[in-house]
Amino acid sequence: MVDYDNIQILMGDIVIIWRDAIINQLGISKKDIKEMNVVLIVPDEFSESMVSILGDILLNEFEFKGIIIQPVSKLFGLFIYSDFYFNKKVSNFLN
């Protein structure tokens, strides 16, 4: 595990990882991202400033149309209806 002394370096690495996952692994184009909303699931332990920074990355760096920020503790039943789509995309990503 890497310890980060600088939040900007950490955020830069997150952008690189997310960009690879979204664009290269899932095959979502930059053009399509601008028409999509995103759900950011965050651990309850994350500070408000960290959540704000992550949301800012998704809205400004990736230019998603909108964002829902969901704490992990409130997830019960959230993906019941989208389970098939979610599992299909995740299995495609992992293979």
Burial of 40 from C-beta contacts in 10 A (0-12 / 13-18 / 19+): middle
Global pTM reads 0.71
Q: What average pLDDT does the segment 18-35 reach?
A: 93
Task: Check the CA dihedral 68-78-89-93 and report its sign.
Answer: positive
Per DSSP, 2 falls in state P
CATH 1.10.10.60 for domain 7-94: no
Exposed/middle/buried for residue 58 (C-beta within 10 Å: 0-12, 13-18, 19+): buried
Q: What distances in angstroms separate CA 85 from CA 17, 81, 92, one per listed residue?
A: 22, 9, 11
The mean pLDDT value for 27-46 works out to 91
Q: Check residue 94 and give its pLDDT.
A: 45
When pLDDT is cut at 50, 70 and 90, the band that residue 57 belongs to is: very high
